A and B are shown apart, each in its own frame.
Chain A
Amino acid sequence: MKDFKARVEDFKKKFDKALAGAKDGKSLQELRNTYLSRKKGVVKSLLEELKAFKPEEKSKAGKMLNTLKNHVQKKLETAQKKFTAPETIEKKIDLTLPGEKKYWGAPHPVVLFQQKIENIFISMGFSIEEGPEIETDYYNFEALNFPPHHPARDDWDTLYLSDDLLLRTHTSPVQIRAMENRKPPIRIIVPGRVYRRETPDPTHLPMFYQVEGLVVDKGITFAHLKGTLEYFLKTLFYEKLKIRFRPSFFPFTEPSAEVDIECLVCRGEDDKCRVCKGTGWKEILGSGMVDPQVLKNVNIDPEKYSGFAFGMGIERTAMFAFQIPDMRYFFENDLRFIRQFTLK
């Protein structure tokens, strides 16, 4: 019996030594045959010997043998993995196959751009105000200092619903509504749909989006208008952007200013640039100091308060920023167009 125990331990040591020397799957298979073969393996032959033992010795020896068998099996399995694992992965899976991306819906570029604009103004302490698209002549024109029958109205070609009701031609009526509803200080922007009686072409649409801005407080000056819009434009485009303010006319502002930014395409370097017509500048915003008559119309004393207002077309600005040649693309909702903007 002692002899049997020693031999089992000896086999274990021999096995461990042989396993350590095994270099590949083939040598492992040989080891497996030597020890575990059902016909002539080491374990099998030791098992044969048990028959001669006494019953109490038999069970002890059986346990020893079982331990050896388990040891060999376990070690062989572990070793097998070590040798075969890298090979099988390479054979089973082509890691160059495309991964599975999630189909994530894309925001509409107009909304994307609108939010970009909104966020810059929110960072400057502005809040967002909205108003109806169906407006009265009073809010759309008269309160904004467009006298009835004034040719200035021609620049805001209007879709009418009745004698008095129309589709707002700009977001400016919301200025009036805000000033009627609140006391200064007021610092708002107003995004929204506006309408013009225009036949669609690459640069005109009967409906588009605008963002309007209004600041009213004591001591607001043209310098504040410049400061606000310069910060806005530099944040929207880039810090070194060239900007110029030049005199213009809007019935509801006085003085009025048009804001140009340098042509993003030619940077003023190309006399024949199609985007800026060789001027080097691109008109981007209309603005001005709120006209004293407009303040009077909402019972704000222009001697005590002043303000500035501004407005811009969202599609037009996005077209310029991304070099989109045709405004109509925005409302075709072609997925190949819309989905481009997701990561921009």
Chain B
Amino acid sequence: MIISLEWLKDFIDVDLPPSALIDKLDMIGLMVEEWKEKGSDIILDIETYANRPDTLGHLGVAREIAAALGLKLKQQEWPLAEIEEKTSELCDVQIWDPDLCPRYCGIVVKGVKVGPSPEWLRKKIEIMGLKSINNVVDVTNYVLFATSQPIHAFDLAKLAGRKIIIRRAKQGEAIKTLEEEDVSLSPDMLVIADEEKPVAIAGVIGGLESSVQEETQDIFIESAYFNPISVRKTSKKIGISTDASYRFERNADISFPPRAALMAASLMTQFGGKVSRGITDVYPKPAKERTVVLRNQRVFDLLGVEIDAKFSEKTLSNLGFQVESQRKDVWKVQVPHHRVDVEREADLIEEIARFYGYDKIPVHFPPLRVPEPPLDQRREKIDRSRQILFNHGFDEALNFSFSSPEKEAQFETGRSAIEIRNPISSNASLLRTTLMGGLLDNIAWNMNRGADGVHFFEVGNIYFKNKMKSQEQLTLSLVTTGLVGPPHWHRKSEKTDFFRLKGTLESLMEYLNYEPYSFKEEPHTLFEKESALALVVKKDTIGYFGLLKKSLLDAYSLDEPVWAAELNLDALFGKPSQAFQYSPVTKFPTVTRDVSFIADGNVSFQDIQEVVGKLSLPYLGSFDLYDRFSGPSIPKGKVSLSLRFVFSHPKRTLKTEEIDKIQKKIISALGASFNFQLREGGRIDK
């Protein structure tokens, strides 16, 4: 809300220096966002709140300053040059829908000379950022910005039958607005009509036809109170918001319409107008006075500071509340009509706190009587996962939750995407069903800006419809492409690959204590054929990883291969991880045996693991593949595999002979299952 200090002086004699006034306004909740000097005036831009429509005019801001500084508001006089004719004879006002229009005031000004506004009025209108139109229209805007009560001026001659009927629009009715926009009306909208047709959309905007033009002579001034919800619904439906609708939908001061009408009429007499006798005021069910009980004890209970009861009483009366003592330290407080925000005791306590000063309320720490429940395991697991991924050289990304139909079509996740009804753009009209879209964007972005490699992970929700219900699923996705780390003289630059990703996932499962886990070759829509594995924990597939499909890379214009993974963390964390228990460290030496074989190139490591596993070898601590190669020294179609077995016993030193026996068993089992040959020159013992 724009406030002019000069204009404020119409209502209050304030002579604080501007900077002190601004501080004061800030501290009572009228935050000055910006201010500038304009000639001798100072213009403030004040932040106002949806519950304080009274501050949407200079009068309301003046009231607040008066209360803060202990000043009195100036009484304004609105002299009228009256004529004999009664208002009711000149125009008949009927409210047909008192729910939507509880109060309607009108007065007629005859013989106005419509023309340019005088200097003082034009200046005020321009301060508010509007263009001066003519003296009559400017007066209506002047009253609005002075008092926050919107008023409207009709050309009386254009009102058919000299009637004002406040009613709902009929089906099929339409109106051309002041802004020359055609609006079709419906029965849920309140209109101001004459005998024949709507002449204004109540509380929102006037009609062009009945508007004040240069030839207009007699003016009907409308000053009313409209139902806030009705004004808001209409304004939203027709997509027109005005200074008037902005105030009405926030709830106006129902006691104010007569004063605003008189003020406008008085000002119009300055342009040769004469005012009809007796204001028309249709107000079938006058609003009840609102009273709220205030207990001094509650002021302390809520604010944590002892405030002198006299201070509270004075503050409220300064603000226009009527404070009546009921018994000691309990008051009955009558709320002025312009304070539509005050309904409960807490609202009054806020008033007291505002003027007492938030800065004077002491600083205490809330006692911790009962500890909170221990922190969630799930969050700890997420953070542990992140640390493991950082350690493996993956950077963390966060992407928007939005997706587009094109993206969803590329990924074919098989999940039914949730649509946003009012998206900001068609690129963001869906919620993502995979994290892959964002991460591929991130790869493209960084590769286009000179990155040699990109390795990202993201932890976040995906969203989809599941049996008509919307579901959020916590997901972890990884992508890895290009060089690992920056090039360095000390080691060769390595490109990322499938096994780097797989190793990362293996670390993840091991450090999170999700063992045993296994991998299963399984086709998946995201990945190339025969290039994807499923990660299985306790018989459930937790996620997939592999080489991303060429078509996806093309869609994002990526040249380098990208390996990616997507894991369902809800499913994983839903499973209990293995409780950790330490295993005793043996005091006796371990025995390491390395065995090298020549094997068929197509034997899978998982099969070897299985065969070794089935042997249930005693004392076997670990078993790993530490070398694998093929080349000129190896027959065609074959590979050399080097396995390392580590044995230990908790209570004694192992004997060479018993290990020899086990080793023979391994060699013969692998020989029998896969036709493995011991490689010549391979180390047999160590």
Q: Give me the interface of A with B, judged by CB distance under 8 Å.
A: 97-98, 100, 103-108, 110-111, 115, 122, 124-128, 132-134, 148-152, 154-155, 159-162, 165, 167, 185, 187-188, 193, 195, 197-199, 206-207, 215, 217, 219-224, 226-228, 230-231, 244-249, 251, 254-258, 277, 279, 289, 291-293, 302, 306, 330-336, 338-339
Contacts and interface: CB of A to CB of B under 8 A. Distances in A.
B165 interface: no
B490 interface: yes
A335 B371 contact: no
A198 B428 CA distance: 12
Interface string B386-411: 10011111111111111000000000
B29 A247 contact: yes
A185 B369 contact: yes
B478 to A, nearest CB: 10
Contact of A161 (B28, B233, B362, B470): B470
Contacts of B393: 103-105
B26 A338 contact: no
Nearest to A150: B50
B457 to A, nearest CB: 8
B67 to A, nearest CB: 13
A187 B232 contact: no
Interface stretch (B4-12, B83-91, B169-177, B417-425): B417-425
A106 B420 contact: no
Interface string B7-37: 0000000000000000000111101111000
B638 interface: no
Nearest to B454: A335
Given A104-B391, A224-B364, 4 more contacts: A152-B50, A159-B421, A197-B424, A334-B445
A133 B472 contact: yes
17 contacts: A100-B490, A103-B485, A104-B393, A105-B393, A105-B395, A107-B386, A125-B368, A133-B463, A133-B472, A134-B463, A134-B470, A165-B470, A220-B366, A223-B364, A255-B354, A291-B346, A335-B395
A98 B372 CA distance: 50
B240 interface: no
Nearest to A193: B401
A134 B365 contact: no
A161 B395 CA distance: 32
B585 interface: no
Contact of A111 (B396, B402, B451, B454): B396
Interface of B: 26-29, 31-34, 49-52, 228-229, 232-233, 246, 249-250, 301-305, 341, 344-347, 349-350, 353-354, 358-359, 361-376, 379, 383, 386, 389-402, 418-425, 428, 438, 441-442, 445-446, 449, 451, 454-457, 460-461, 463, 470, 472, 484-486, 488-491
A147 B147 CA distance: 26
A254 B428 CA distance: 36
A207 B397 contact: no
A106 B395 contact: yes
A151 B250 contact: yes
B345 to A, nearest CB: 8
Given A207-B402, A255-B353, A335-B446, A107 B397 contact: no
Given A103-B485, A249-B50, A134 B422 contact: no
B421 A107 contact: no
A228 to B, nearest CB: 6
B327 to A, nearest CB: 18
B27 A246 contact: yes
Contacts of B359: 244-245
B354 A128 contact: no
A310 to B, nearest CB: 12
Given A151-B50, A255-B346, A334-B446, A127 B302 contact: no
B121 to A, nearest CB: 29
A132 B402 CA distance: 16
Nearest to A118: B379
A104 B344 CA distance: 56
Contacts of B470: 134, 161, 165
B301 A219 contact: yes
Given A128-B379, A256-B350, A333-B398, A149 B390 contact: no
B52 A226 contact: no
B49 A248 contact: yes
B489 A111 contact: no
Given A108-B397, A255-B353, A125 B390 contact: no
Nearest to B379: A128
A105 B372 contact: no
Given A100-B490, A105-B389, A187 B368 contact: yes
Contacts of A333: 397-399, 438, 441-442, 445-446, 456
Contacts of A228: 365-366
A105 B391 CA distance: 6
Contact of A247 (B350, B369, B438): B350
B490 A331 contact: no
A106 B390 contact: yes
A329 to B, nearest CB: 12
B232 A221 contact: no
A333 B346 CA distance: 45
B418 A98 contact: no
Given A128-B375, A228-B365, A134 B29 contact: no
A255 B345 CA distance: 11
B161 to A, nearest CB: 34
A127 B372 contact: yes
Most buried by B among A149, A160, A330: A149
Nearest to A222: B303
Given A106-B390, A151-B232, A291-B346, A227 B366 contact: yes
Contact of A149 (B232, B346, B366): B232
Given A134-B418, A223-B364, A206 B370 contact: no
B304 A223 contact: yes
B440 to A, nearest CB: 11
Contacts of A257: 358
A106 B249 CA distance: 49
Query: What 6 A-B pairs have minimum CB-CB distances, sorted nearest first?
Result: A221-B304, A247-B29, A223-B304, A249-B49, A255-B350, A127-B372
B456 A289 contact: no
Contacts of A161: 418-421, 470
Nearest to A185: B370
Contacts of B31: 246, 248, 258
A133 B461 contact: yes
A198 B33 CA distance: 21
Contacts of A248: 29, 31, 49
A105 B33 contact: no
A79 to B, nearest CB: 34
B34 A277 contact: yes
Nearest to A183: B370
Contacts of B232: 149, 151
A333 B456 CA distance: 9
A257 B354 CA distance: 10
A209 B629 CA distance: 50
A105 B455 contact: yes
Contact of B395 (A206, A293, A339): A339
Contacts of B364: 221, 223-224, 226-227
B397 A224 contact: no
Nearest to B450: A336
A197 B422 contact: yes
B561 to A, nearest CB: 19
B580 to A, nearest CB: 23
A279 B34 CA distance: 8
A125 B371 contact: yes
A221 B350 CA distance: 12
Contacts of A105: 389-396, 455, 457
Contacts of B488: 98, 100
Contact of A338 (B346, B365, B395): B395
A155 B51 CA distance: 12
Contacts of A193: 401, 460-461
